[in-house]
């Protein structure tokens, strides 16, 4: 599964970035890939866990999630740079990735506590937590877009 995730990520680094540059705008593309990551977590990963012998659904989720995760990794620096002056870019990169590091540091023990002893309910709750955190990032980006553009429409 890790290899499938990584191969999908190769395309995910390039295609969403090209779409952002030519059609959607950087923030819109980041919003889209984050929304799709959250949607696929709830719509594909959550049901796939109940059919462990049928791996096709899990592989399908892995490909799509790997693609969109890589897209979010490659689009985030572009979005930060878009809203920064050149002299402030380093500070903003450091601030954003500092929050990312703290969130990653906190999410591991939280995920372990949610998972518990490893029964099916623990995995269900972990998947819901993962999708909810991803959706929270979508809400934060919508708030940023609304603040910057005074609306939710438009390419930015």
**81 to each of 22, 31, 67, 96, 103, how far by Cα in Å?**
17, 16, 22, 11, 21
Instruction: Kindly report the pTM of this predicted structure.
Output: 0.89
Q: What is the DSSP string of 93-134?
A: HHHHHHHHHHHHHHHHHHHHHHHTT--HHHHHHHHHHHHHHH
Query: Could you tell me the pLDDT band of residue 33, with boundaries at 50, 70 and 90?
Result: very high
Q: What percent of the chain has pLDDT over 90?
A: 63
State phi, psi for 152 to the nearest 5 degrees: -110, 0
State phi, psi for 34 to the nearest 5 degrees: -70, -40
154: left (phi over 0), alpha (psi -120 to 50) or beta: left
d(CA 3, CA 93): 29
Helix axes 26-40, 120-149, angle to 10 degrees: 160
pLDDT at 134: 93
Q: Domains for the chain: give ranges and CATH numbers.
A: 2-149 (1.20.1250.20)
Residue 30 and residue 72 in contact, taking contact as beta carbons nearer than 8 Å: yes
| Residue 111: both structure tokens together | 């995920």
pLDDT at residue 95 above 80? Answer: yes
């Amino acid at each position: 599964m890790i290899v499938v995730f990584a191969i999908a990520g190769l395309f995910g680094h390039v295609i969403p970035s090209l779409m952002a540059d030519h059609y959607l705008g950087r923030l819109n593309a980041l919003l889209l890939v984050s929304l799709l990551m959250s949607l696929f977590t709830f719509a594909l990963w959550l049901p796939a866990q109940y059919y462990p012998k049928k791996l096709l659904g899990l592989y399908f989720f892995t490909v799509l999630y790997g693609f969109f995760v890589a897209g979010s990794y490659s689009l985030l620096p572009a979005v930060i740079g878009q809203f920064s002056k050149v002299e402030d870019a380093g500070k903003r990169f450091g601030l954003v990735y500092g929050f990312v590091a703290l969130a990653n540091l906190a999410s591991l023990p939280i995920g372990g506590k949610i998972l518990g002893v490893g029964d099916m309910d623990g995995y269900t709750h972990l998947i819901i937590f993962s999708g909810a955190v991803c959706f929270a990032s979508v809400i934060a980006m919508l708030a940023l877009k609304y603040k910057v553009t005074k609306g939710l429409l438009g390419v930015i």
